[in-house]
Amino acid sequence: MEYSTFEIILILLVTAVITVSFCRLLHLPNIIGYLVVGVLVGPYGLGWIADNSETRFLAEFGVVFLLFTIGLEFSLARLIAMSNIVLGLGALQVITTALITGIICKLLGLDTISAFVIGGILAMSSTAIVIRQLSEQLELHSRHGRQAVGILLFQDLAVIPLLILIPTLSGTHELPVSELLFWALGKGIIVLIIMLSIGHWLLRPIFHAMAKTRSPDLFMLTVLLFTLSAAWLTHEAGLSLALGAFLAGMMIGETEYRHQVEADMRPFRDVLLGLFFVTIGMMLDIHTLPDIWLPVLSITALIIVGKTLLIMGLALLHKTEKGVALRTGLSLAQGGEFGFILLSLAITAGLLTGTVGQIVLASILLSMGFAPVIIRFNGHIAKRIFSVSYGSTRDHIRGEIFRNAELLNDHVIICGYGRVGQNIARFLEKENFSYIAIDLDPVRVREARQAGDPVNYGDSTHMDILHAAGLERAIAMLISFDETPATLKILENTRSRRPDMPVLIRTRDDSDLELLQEAGATEVVPETLEASLMLMSHLLMLLGVPVSTVLRHVRDVRTDRYSILRGFFHGDETVPINEPESNRKHLHSIVLTEKAWALGHTLQELELDKTGIMVTAIRRGGIRGPAPEPHTKLIAGDVLVLYGTNEETKRAEDRLFSGRH
């Protein structure tokens, strides 16, 4: 049965919403959900949607925008900072994995080109899964996290020559493979020079001109035009559309418009990228699985075990401790999104046969399915296998911190030695207070220690690290980084040993203020609210208000834990969809009409606090009364200013007008 285009869109939307929702509940990446949708509705599943040129054309747009956004995020400065890992460990991983895989494929009877392509495909790992899982586990800035990110960064680079070579190898050519590769790379270099020249001489002036028009639509159209033109240029040169998009992203990423472009392009990318992964799922012929299950399981095991051991071995060559090397290998032991892109390109170009393509596709899918679980337990696996060496590494870090802190008493522990931590440390030095800082950035630690600062590498969320830093003897603690999950873990460990010690926390805003205070924070300092206080102080003094009065206002606000500054009227401001509900508190005003149930009742009788709502002010007769008393009786025409989430204000409104709890 054939469906109309509209019916196909509805089928895709319904199945995608249901499947991706299940993935979210199971804490799996959305990519897995899209792939499952493709398997279900594709020609080899329920057969609702045909795998035709139209869907493949749309999917290719998804690849274009994926590569464009990866180009935007590509940072030359970051590459230079991590060059030892990226160009050393990353290059070795990609080359060695591709070489070993190619040799195995050749021994299994595949031709040289197919073996080369499969080697490149299986050398890739999943950036989306690895980054997301390590971030959730607070391991992104750990030693194995930094190594994993560095290797992923080189994989991004390695995709460029593969995107150049695979289309060139398609079809029948009389030239030998070596000459084909030479001409393909030469052509790619020429295109790269042209693109970079255009970007250097024309891109920035064009974007400056578009920005001056203050027209978001025109700016967006310019970005789309530039991206698709770059993709068209590389396609016309016999290369891939994705290569041009990646180069376009790289060039825009070097301008000051990078973040604006990234935000504007995200909706297009996410929708079309989802469609790309749906089409990848549609390529999987589930009817062939009974015939190919043995090679699929074998290759999946080879990807997981082989990549783990290979990356671990390479990390050991880079003088990494055994436990950390194993955790790096476990984090990258899967196929990836780029593997799908290269596989799709290779199948379209006719470089891989149907059966071989199905085996590789199913193996990558299966390895990605196992990836979140393997990454989640990478620490437990490493500690169990290398308990001695892994423990000795932790002992070394802990011992070094202990030696630096053993003579300290009544000192301050600074968790996080970024800009805020360093600024606080300068003032502590001026007042002759001793301190010890703990940070997870090895470059920052090395440079700060060379300058004589008492900073150590370590993860302050671990109890043994805090103990080594002299937690029992410290006079205070400062948590200077804005990561609520890590902060809560530090608070929990600290309060278990030192419930009396002052702990000051820096946050970006007031979204987690109550949560941190309930967890035991002595003071939480939100940057946005403190900035408001400083601006208010300067403004009032410029207007002639006595300094003593200004200082009293500042003191009262801080004593009252910023209650007067809590919340604001959001208006049409867009709230990110992935922001927790508890972070969406805002001010909302409600006018009491003559038929409101709450008339004649006091605020205490209404019990609005049970709905989670705070009444910050009542406006009556044109006069605004902040912090109204509980015995205040409401009358018609009162305007109540409520502070809470959308759901809380809705419940409060029901209570005020109908009396329902």
Confidence of residue 390 (pLDDT cuts 50, 70, 90): low
Residue 155's pLDDT is 85
Q: What amino acid is encoded at 337 in this protein?
A: E
Distance CA 462, CA 521 (A): 18
More confident residue, 53 or 534: 534
| Residue range 492-506: mean pLDDT, rounded | 90
- For the stretch 219-274, pLDDT in tens is 888 888 888 888 888 777 767 777 788 888 878 877 777 777 777 777 666 676 77
* Number of Cα atoms under 13 Å in the Cβ half of residue 635: 4
* Helix, strand, coil share (%) of the chain residues, nearest 5: 65, 10, 25
Distance CA 71, CA 243 (A): 10
Residue 578's pLDDT is 47
Of 76, 75, 181, nearest to 120 by C-alpha is 181
What is the side-by-side order of every strand in the sheet holding 435-439?
455-457, 435-439, 412-415, 476-479, 503-507, 523-526
| Residue range 526-532: mean pLDDT, rounded | 78
More confident residue, 348 or 105: 105
User: Is the separation of the CB atoms in 160 and 234 below 8 Å?
Assistant: no
Q: Which region, left, alpha or beta, applies to residue 574 given φ > 0 means left and ψ of -120 to 50 means alpha?
A: beta
Task: State yes or no: pLDDT of 465 exceeds 70.
Answer: yes
| Residue range 464-477: mean pLDDT, rounded | 90
* Number of Cα atoms under 13 Å in the Cβ half of residue 515: 15
For the residues of 266-327, what is the DSSP string, one character each? HHHHHHHHHHHHHHHHHT--GGGHHHHHHHHHHHHHIIIIIHHHHHHHHHHHTT--HHHHHH
| Residue range 336-363: mean pLDDT, rounded | 84
More confident residue, 111 or 73: 111
Structure token pair of residue 483: 């990561």
- For the stretch 121-150, pLDDT in tens is 999 998 878 887 887 777 777 778 888 888
Q: Which of 70-79, 208-217, 401-410, 583-592 has the highest mean pLDDT?
A: 401-410
pTM equals 0.66
| Residue range 533-562: mean pLDDT, rounded | 79
| Residue range 269-281: mean pLDDT, rounded | 75
Distance CA 630, CA 632 (A): 6
Structure token pair of residue 620: 């009556």
Domains of the chain: 5-384 (1.20.1530.20), 393-521 (3.40.50.720), 581-658 (3.30.70.1450)
Distance CA 457, CA 440 (A): 6
Q: Which of 24-33, 61-70, 233-242, 384-393 has the lowest mean pLDDT?
A: 384-393
- For the stretch 91-105, pLDDT in tens is 899 999 999 999 998
Of 392, 445, 405, 391, nearest to 421 by C-alpha is 445
Task: State yes or no: pLDDT of 564 exceeds 70.
Answer: no
- pLDDT above 90 covers a percentage of the chain that reads 10
- For the stretch 571-619, pLDDT in tens is 545 444 444 444 567 777 888 888 888 888 888 888 887 777 888 888 8
Task: State yes or no: pLDDT of 15 exceeds 90.
Answer: no
Residue 582's pLDDT is 45
Q: Which of 8-22, 308-322, 338-352 has the highest mean pLDDT?
A: 308-322
